[in-house]
């Protein structure tokens, strides 16, 4: 009879921690993705047009601004969902 493996992390027991960790990872990856995407656009435009760092700088700034805006919207959505859940919990709605 095989031994039953003990889980290192119980998601049922630590679900709020796991949810918060997933949100933080999502926000970080969103920001990195926006900046990296804009960096590569700027890099290839500089390479194609023969400029030296002009488009990289412009597009990195745009990537930071766009990533910040997207992260802000994601945080507002999470906060709205948590307020709705708290309101439903206070009213006894499941």
Higher pLDDT, 59 or 20: 59
Between the alpha carbon of residue 92 and those of residues 72, 84, 88, the distances in Å are 30, 12, 6
Q: Within a domain: residue 61?
A: yes
pLDDT in tens, 54-67: 999 999 999 999 99
Q: Within a domain: residue 46?
A: yes
pLDDT at 92: 67
Higher pLDDT, 77 or 90: 77
pLDDT at 84: 82
Q: Within a domain: residue 1?
A: no
Of 8-12, 72-76, 77-81, give the lowest mean pLDDT range. Answer: 8-12
Between the alpha carbon of residue 16 and those of residues 11, 19, 79, the distances in Å are 9, 5, 14
Q: Within a domain: residue 12?
A: no
Q: Which domain holds residue 55?
A: 29-86
Task: Indicate the number of domains in the chain.
Answer: 1
Q: Is the pTM of this model over 0.85?
A: no
Q: In terms of Cα–Cα distance, which of 18, 19, 31, 16 is closest to 64?
A: 31
Burial of residue 52 (number of CB atoms within 10 Å: 0-12, 13-18, 19+): exposed
CA gap 25, 41 in Å, rounded: 24
């Amino acid at each position: 009879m095989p031994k039953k493996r003990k889980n290192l992390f119980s998601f049922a027991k630590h679900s709020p921690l796991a949810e918060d960790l997933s949100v933080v990872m999502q926000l970080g990856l969103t920001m990195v993705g926006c900046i990296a995407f804009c960096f590569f656009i700027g890099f290839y435009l500089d390479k194609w047009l023969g400029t030296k760092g002009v488009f990289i700088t412009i597009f990195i700034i745009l990537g930071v601004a766009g990533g910040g805006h997207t992260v802000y919207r994601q945080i507002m959505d999470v906060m709205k969902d948590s307020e709705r859940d708290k309101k439903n919990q206070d009213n006894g709605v499941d």
